[in-house]
Amino acid sequence: MPNSTSKRRLWRDVRVFDGLRTLPEPMAVVTEGTRIASLVAMRDADENLVEGCSDMGRGGVMTPGLVDCHTHLVFGGGRADEFEARLEGASYEEIARRGGGILSTVRATREASEEELLALARPRLEALIADGVTTVEIKSGYGLDVASELKMLRVARRLGEELPVRVVTTLLGAHALPPEFKGDSDGYIDLVCREMVPAATQAGLADAVDVFCEKIAFSVAQCERVFVAAEAHGLPIKAHAEQLSNLGGTAMAARHGALSADHIEYLDAAGIAAMREAGSVAVILPGAFHTLRETQQPPIAALRKAGVPMAVATDANPGSSPLFMPTLMLNLACTLFRLTPQEALAGMTAHGATALGLAGQGRIREGAEADLCLWNVESPAGLAYAVQPGRLRQRLFQGELTHGN
């Protein structure tokens, strides 16, 4: 191999969205090894800058590599039959009685081997990568027993070893009540706290711990017990909260210093104040809102006014968001929730990184990691404006070109 660690690459005349805003004039960008070495206005680019660089071309829009901070990419089975049944008029309850819904995914995930789950998840992650993702969070939550949850997390880790992408893992043991604990949700939470969290920590498989705080899942008090267990093991926490009702899970999670509260359609003023106080990120998931045909909008204007950073993610999963295209989420965040294109893009770069405990990443600035995308669009807003696969011209992951030439 040539000495790629010192290789310098130069892009000229690019419009740069730096993770928070679009820079006002055309820029020259130089990477060296795994880092961004220079970011200067074109009119200030001189001979010294260009010296020894390989020319990567001119024009286009450059963004940080996209950060998808909320996914459920590892799962067995599919739910297309259920999708059809619902369109033919079957109710959610009927589908559940036939063994459908999340528990059908749990069954298929438990039955699948680690190798099978890896083979199923790989093309899903490849789809995200082809649409610009360089950092992705992957949750467990379809195993719901210690061995199956660890199996899912091992698959997530292996995806990060086999593909050019940074994988951040989250233990979501408290996602749903497994059938063997029917009528004993406190007993299941005992298992999560006493066995699952310690086992995942000991194996080094979890970077964070998540819960589903909702009437159809776990109560605020049960979720708090999981957070206390996570804290005892030194793991950061986050929550699926206020998606279908306002239980106060977000405020409780914020009191525990949550990295993020996700969905939050029903979040109230007290919840927003708690998030601001804690520095938690609001993760907006328009894919689930769209798929479930929800009508309650997340409080975007109030979050914006409070200065709570908003991230945008795919929530890619087999049930409520079978949508594996991050740039579609930019579009949906704008069309459904009236985010500005800049806010949506910041939500999938800088703020997405913060939601994963990677504050300072998802940025284009000198010294930052060279995770970059160059797009064939007329402006950064163009990425949210149109839904059009194939616009990624080049992708760099840790300074290495993985797409384009």
Q: Which residues bind Zn ion (CB under 5 A)?
A: 315
Q: Which two tokens stand for residue 188?
A: 């299941």
Cβ–Cβ under 8 Å, residues 79 and 322 = yes
The 3-state DSSP class for residue 309 equals coil
Identify the bridge partners of residue 400 per DSSP, sorted by sequence position. 397
Phi and psi, residue 224, nearest 5°? -65, -35
- State the nearest-atom distance from the C-beta of 70 to Zn ion, in Å: 6
Q: Cβ of residue 340: shortest distance to Zn ion, in angstroms? A: 24
Q: How far is the CB of 355 from Zn ion (least distance, A)?
A: 13
- Select 315 or 371, whichever has its Cβ closest to Zn ion: 315
396 within 8 A of 37, measured Cβ to Cβ: no
Q: Residue 247 region, left (φ>0) first, then alpha (ψ -120 to 50), else beta?
A: alpha
Smallest gap, in angstroms, from Cβ of residue 307 to Zn ion?
Answer: 25
The single-letter code of the amino acid at 165 is V
Q: Of 145 and 315, which CB lies nearer to Zn ion in the complex structure?
A: 315
Which one, of 196, 69, 206, 201, lies nearest residue 143 by Cα?
196
Q: Give the residue with the Cβ less far from Zn ion, 207 or 315.
A: 315
> Please, what is the minimum distance in Å from the beta carbon of residue 108 to Zn ion?
18
By beta-carbon proximity to Zn ion, the closer residue of 262 and 371 is 262
Q: How far is the CB of 140 from Zn ion (least distance, A)?
A: 11
Around Cβ 3, how many Cβ atoms within 10 Å? 7
Q: How far is the CB of 6 from Zn ion (least distance, A)?
A: 41
User: Which residue carries 């195993």 as its tokens?
Assistant: 143
* Cβ proximity to Zn ion, 70 vs 391, nearer residue: 70
Task: List C-alpha distances in Å: 112 to 103, 149, 172.
Answer: 14, 12, 18
Q: Which residue is nearest to Zn ion (CB)?
A: 315
Closer to Zn ion by Cβ: residue 355 or 383: 355
Could you give the CA distance from residue 307 to residue 266 in angstroms, rounded to a whole number?
18
The Cα 266–Cα 252 span in angstroms is: 15
Query: Cβ closer to Zn ion: 224 or 315?
Result: 315
Please report which residue ranges of 169-325 form alpha helices under DSSP H.
185-191, 197-202, 220-232, 249-255, 269-278, 286-291, 300-306
